Amino acid sequence: MSRMQNVVIDSVKTVLGWVPERWLPGGTPDPLIMRRGAVGRQVSRLDGPIKVGGQARFAAEVAMENMCYASLLHSPITRGRMRHLDTSAAEAAPGVILVMTHRNMPRLDIIPLVSVTNLGAVGASALPIMQDTEIRYNGQVVALVLAETQEQADHAASLIQIDYETAGARTHFEAAKATARTPASVLIEKNHTVVGNAEYELAQSPFQVDNIYRTPGHNHNAIELHAVTVAWDGDTLEVHDASQMISGSAAALAKLFGLKKEQVRVLSPFVGGGFGGKGMWDHQVVAVAAARIAGRPVRLVLSRDGVYRIVGGRTPTEQRVALAADAGGNLTALIHTGHSVMPPYSACPEQYTLTGRALYRSKSYAFVQHHLDLDIVPNTYMRAPGESVGTFALESAIDELAHEMGIDPIELRLRNEPETHPLSGTPFSQRALVQAYREGAERFGWARRQATPGTQRDGEWLIGMGCATGSFPYARMPGASASIRLTREGRAIVSCSAQDMGMGTSTVQIQHAADRLGLPMEAIVFEMGDSALPTTPMAGGSSQTVSIAAAIAAAAEKLSGELLRLAGNSSPLAGLRAGEVRMIDQKLVSIEDPSRTESFQQILARASRDEISVSAAGSAPLEMLKFAMHSLSANFCEVRVSEVTGEVRVSRMLGSFDCGAILNPKTATSQFKGGMIMGIGLALTEETLFDERSGRIMNATLADYHIPSHLDVPDIDVMWTGVPDPRSPLGARGIGEIGITGVAAAIANAVFNATGRRVRDLPITLDKLL
Amino acid sequence: MAIRINGNEVAIPDDPRVSLADLLREQLHLTGTKIGCNQGACGACTVLIDGERVLSCLTLAVQADGRAVTTIEGLSSEGSPHPLQSAFIEHDGFQCGYCTPGQICAAAAMLRGVADGMPSYVTADLGERAILSPEEVRERMSGNLCRCGAHNGIVEAILQVAKEDVA
């Protein structure tokens, strides 16, 4: 996050600007974009039968001989130190094997934080783990108890006596502004960015809005609790984790415990929801340490309360958005600034100003984010970090400006649609937001909306419609690799350490591999979820599908080359190179002369080979620096607001997406809807209640933190342009996070349309409408 | 003292603190039953006791003495899946699959409750047998949380099975 980083990235972008497109990855579109077989089909997720049957084994469900159970004790104070610690009663309790505190915890280094400049890193916290008596945030792990059963461990943990000496803690958002930090960069973007004189334009323009928007903290609340089952065998370590970052976790644990990478194996074939929360936190580390001391396998499952205490969530934000326009509805100023909490020991800058940098043409711009340093559990990435809450502010403001000007809010957006990236002038790889809006508005029946708020009613219920744009940047991570083993029987085993927290990773990559390798889907086995397999980056930033696709494409290209080499001079393919053939119908076929062909089986049989194996890494993702690439959406929603109670019901929602090619309509629909439903929670119910007096989270339960339930979720309609992105593998962009973006604004805008009340402070609870 | 679990007699655990969920998961390795909160807020641990849905994390194993427990593993019969299991796949009624066994067990008991004439909070006419509208399904399934957002698929799957039952 340094000035140096800004310089380096700017230089690379500048150089890439001079490089011809065809020299870069994505310079020529992926041939599979035009040649669809399994990709694009409605395929039910292939792990469905074992999931509905209860046979899918999650991290806490791996059985081991001689296993014992861990229970954690969390600090009830926010800052201070343990003055006196008495573990004797716990140690004497029935079944207890070990009580671990800072006294007997091995001395360990800090885990490097997840970062754009250190892509292998996985740390979510840069604080020491159980190394000293100091308490740095409320809920910090202070002790671990191992016992023969969970019941014994939980009881013994309750017997540990700690006398705390409290110290002053920083827990007030407002007070922390006095010492706010302004980082040089936000992820790979320069933080403080100014074009023209936005404040001047704001003052001079005939129309302007200038308001403060607030969003509270949020927790991921994956239904699966964070859990590990850990076993040491001599100096090798096996960790069954619920992880979105398998390879990186294995590397981090190896470094932390002084092992070689191959001595650590992290397995995570099924993850019960992640949303950014299933990373490397303190619980894996203390479980591994305790298992080593005890010399026995250990299972540690966090309590739900424990997840809130030691796994951070989305940070609260306070954002200013000011917009101005001339009489023709052309934006003259776009200002997006604000404060969010990010202590120096956390990794996520909650990049809420990124959306405004890429969405609208404007005469002037000003962006800057300030970080507040509070004594809290380190905040982290949660579904569409930045964009989810940033679009709430920006897209509410657009609606407010449209109302001020008496223009339809869609029309205002379309008038300010940029031709190229509005700040850098970089060309878009593909952008069909206008089409998404036109088609979405038609299907939703936007024309029936009454522009004057508060004019539609059904008994006590006021009815309104709203819309908002969603946006999420494309990312493909460097360093993804995959291996392919092709057998003489015509089967292919495709392997990489990929993660699946429910996105349908294996289903979609099997579809992809079938087309890439010219095999039926039934002939593909996809191995994943294991750090012993070729390394792939974390599942984050909606980047995994294209990252793995590029690795499989590279491996397939290498496989073609190997097959051609084996085919030799007596083959009809003799003399051809890898780039000159395709794999179709279990054969290699010359692109130029399709009559020159030979089956995989013939080639392998003639070479007396049972199988052939290759592995390769995907190309460097330079397309994301050469082009402006974003998944986009037009969100529409209808709400009913009770005039009596202030209750808001979302009665209809439509998401119209522009995310490149859709690889599996069935699983993609679920990803889109899943994001939109989390957006309903963001808009109406979700809030991590933080007690600024004590520094403690007050609603650390699923009963008190309200995620949408069945009754909160209407039938949701989704559609997409489906226009392939010519610069990305398979023509696809990310679909995992875009769904939540824009939804909170669409709902807030609909509430305004229904009631005339503008709520700029999420969640929109009943009290704010009475 | 014994519990009949998926047709097999199982002894009551010695430690009276053991919940039914922990008995299933840790002692019997029937890990299809999930734990998401351990306090009755999420529904992931839903199993059937004598055909009724119960939160197994809030049920002590001893409380199930002499009763018949059916878990997700016992819902399919002789290798062929329960219609709800197939319908959940068909309608993509899950993503990560963690809340799924609880959703399916809850739905199975809920459909039986509807068939027995049990009304819900949204049933308009308590004198008449409830018609299983999408709204009825949502109300009756709201004790089962899903964070991936598979709600639409879950409701569609349940309605499809309900329709086939009637047909």
Instruction: Report the pLDDT value the prediction gives residue A501, as an integer from 0 to 100.
Output: 96
Mean pLDDT of A139-155: 98
With CB atoms and an 8 Å threshold, state whether B42 touches A223. yes
Q: Is A371 inside any structural domain?
A: yes
Q: What percent of chain A has pLDDT over 70?
A: 99
Q: How far is A549 from A618, CA to CA, in rounded Å?
A: 8
Clarify whether residues A133 and A200 are in a common domain: no
Say yes or no: A553 and A589 in one domain. yes
**A301 occurs within a structural domain:** yes
Q: How far is CA B125 from CA B107, B117, B120, B129, B135, in A?
A: 22, 11, 10, 8, 14
pLDDT for residue A1 is more than 60: no
Domain-embedded: residue A364: yes
Q: Cβ neighbours of residue A250 under 8 Å, at least 6 residues apart? A: A239, A261, A264, A265, A266, A531
Cβ-Cβ pairs closer than 8 A, A with B, add up to 184
Same domain, A329 and A392: yes
Same domain, yes or no: A426 and A547 = no
pLDDT band at A7 (very low <50, low <70, confident <90, very high): confident
Q: Using CB atoms within 10 Å of the CB of residue A701, give its burial: 0 to 12 exposed, 13 to 18 middle, 19+ buried.
A: middle
> Across the interface, do B145 and A701 touch by the CB < 8 Å criterion?
no
Same domain, A636 and A502: no
Q: Which of A46, A52, A64 to mutate to test the interface with B (most CBs of B within 10 A)?
A: A52
Average pLDDT over residues A286-312: 98
Question: Looking at the structure, do residues A551 and A436 belong to the same domain, yes or no?
Answer: no
Question: Mean pLDDT in chain A?
Answer: 96
pLDDT at A25: 63
pLDDT in tens, A343-384: 999 999 999 999 999 999 999 999 999 999 999 999 999 999
CATH number for the domain that contains residue A747: 3.30.365.10
Report pLDDT for A17: 72
Q: Which of residues 50-89 of A touch B (CB under 8 A)?
A: 51-58, 60-61, 63
A499 shares its domain with A604: yes
Q: Which pLDDT belongs to residue B77?
A: 80
Asked whether the beta carbons of residue B92 and residue A51 sit closer than 8 angstroms, the reply is no
| A360 in the same domain as A286 | no
- The residue of chain B with its CA nearest to that of A226 is B36
Q: Name the domain boundary from A556, A588, A620.
A: A620
Q: Considering only CB atoms, which chain B residues are within 8 Å of A222?
A: 96, 98, 147
Same domain, residue pair A365 and A504: no
So what's the pLDDT on residue A26?
Answer: 60
pLDDT digits (tens, 9 = 90+) for B65-122: 999 999 999 998 877 999 999 999 999 999 999 999 999 999 999 999 999 999 999 9
What confidence score (pLDDT) does residue A220 get?
Answer: 98
Say how many domains are in chain A.
3
Residues A712 and A656 both lie in one domain: yes
Which residues, other chains included, contact A110 with Cβ-Cβ below 8 Å and sequence gap of 6+?
Answer: A123, A126, A127, A128
Single residue among A598, A620, A642 that ends a domain in this structure: A620
In order of their start, the domains of chain B are: 2-75 (3.10.20.30), 83-166 (1.10.150.120)
CA atoms within 13 A on the CB side of A433: 28
CATH number of the domain to which A72 belongs: 3.90.1170.50
- Looking at the structure, tell me whether residues A117 and A236 fall in a common domain: yes
pLDDT at position A2: 63
A235-278: pLDDT as tens digits: 999 999 999 999 999 999 999 999 999 999 999 999 999 999 99
Residue of B nearest to A269 (CA): B96
Provide the residue range defining the domain that includes A212: 186-218+314-475+625-769
Task: Tell me which of A81-90, A616-625, B31-40 is least confident.
Answer: A616-625
Q: Is A411 a catalytic residue?
A: no
Q: Which of A45, A223, A507 to mutate to test the interface with B (most CBs of B within 10 A)?
A: A223
Of B39, B92, B152, the CB nearest to A304: B39
What tens digit of pLDDT does each residue of A571-613 get?
999 999 999 999 999 999 999 999 999 999 999 999 999 999 9
Which residue stretches of A112-197 are H helix? 150-157, 173-176
- List the catalytic residue out of A189, A350, A527, A737: A737
Q: What's the pTM?
A: 0.97
For residue B148, give the nearest of A53, A674, A715 by CB distance.
A674
Do A147 and A95 touch, CB atoms closer than 8 A? Answer: yes
Residue A50 lies inside a defined structural domain of this protein: no
- pLDDT band of residue A23 (cuts 50, 70, 90) is low
Please report residues of A whose CB lies closer than 8 A to that of B148: 273, 502, 670, 674
Answer with the one of A567, A596, A620 that is the final residue of a domain: A620
Asked whether residue A20 is assigned to any structural domain, the reply reads: no
**Residue A31 domain-assigned?**
no
The DSSP output letter for A234 is T
SS3 at position A106: coil
Percent of chain B with pLDDT over 70: 99
Mean pLDDT to the nearest integer, A697-714: 98
Residue A95 has pLDDT above 60, yes or no: yes
Q: Which of A113-122, A328-337, A393-402 has the lowest mean pLDDT?
A: A113-122
pLDDT of residue B23: 98
pLDDT for the residue A119: 77
For residue A745, give both structure tokens: 């604004």
User: Based on the number of CB atoms within 10 Å of its own CB, is A262 exposed (0-12), middle (13-18) or buried (19 or more)?
Assistant: exposed
Is B97 in Cβ contact with A709 (below 8 Å)? no
Q: State whether A290 and A210 are in the same domain.
A: no
In a domain, A647, yes or no: yes
Q: Is residue A598 in some structural domain?
A: yes
The confidence score (pLDDT) of residue A115 equals 84
State pLDDT tens for residues A149-180: 999 999 999 999 999 999 999 999 999 999 99
Q: Is the pLDDT of residue A15 over 80?
A: no
CA distances from A239 to A148, A232, A439 (A): 19, 9, 48
